[in-house]
Amino acid sequence: MLPNREGQKVPKVAFRTRTDEGWLEVTTDQLFSGKTVVLFALPGAFTPTCSSKHVPRFNELASVFRQNGVDDILCLSVNDGFIMKAWKKDQDAENITFIPDGNGEFSEKMGLLVDKSQLGFGKRSWR
């Protein structure tokens, strides 16, 4: 079981996201400062369970989260901006902001980076 990190400050990280117009750098301050945010991390884009269960359910429950004061729902994965942009489109997840943690910097600073090299997956984020 992972340790309780309640009250831990969100590390300062810049995420290199991909938009239709090109690259956009988004910081943790922009994503979290002064907001109530639901962040869920998944080990990989396009993985079967993440794509069939996790992302659709968060997208479906977005209105419930918003009714309870949540400003944004973020899906983070250790994937690059191209992959996260394509995954969001594939999932038709208009209620979720997809965040690419391409180098795993955010996941590592949060203490949530796991090495799955023995499976050929490299470093991933815990769910």
Which pair of structure tokens corresponds to residue 96?
């979720």
Catalytic site positions: 50
Domain count of the chain? 1
Whether pTM exceeds 0.75: yes
On whether residue 62 sits in a domain, the answer given is yes
On whether residue 101 sits in a domain, the answer given is yes
**pLDDT tens by residue, 71-81:** 999 999 999 99
pLDDT of residue 1: 62
On whether residue 94 sits in a domain, the answer given is yes
The partner residues of 41 in beta bridges, in order of sequence, read 76
Q: Identify the band that residue 9 occupies on the pLDDT scale cut at 50, 70 and 90.
A: confident
CATH number at residue 65: 3.40.30.10
Domain that holds residue 40: 36-125
| 15 exposure class (CB count in 10 Å sphere: 0-12, 13-18, 19+) | buried
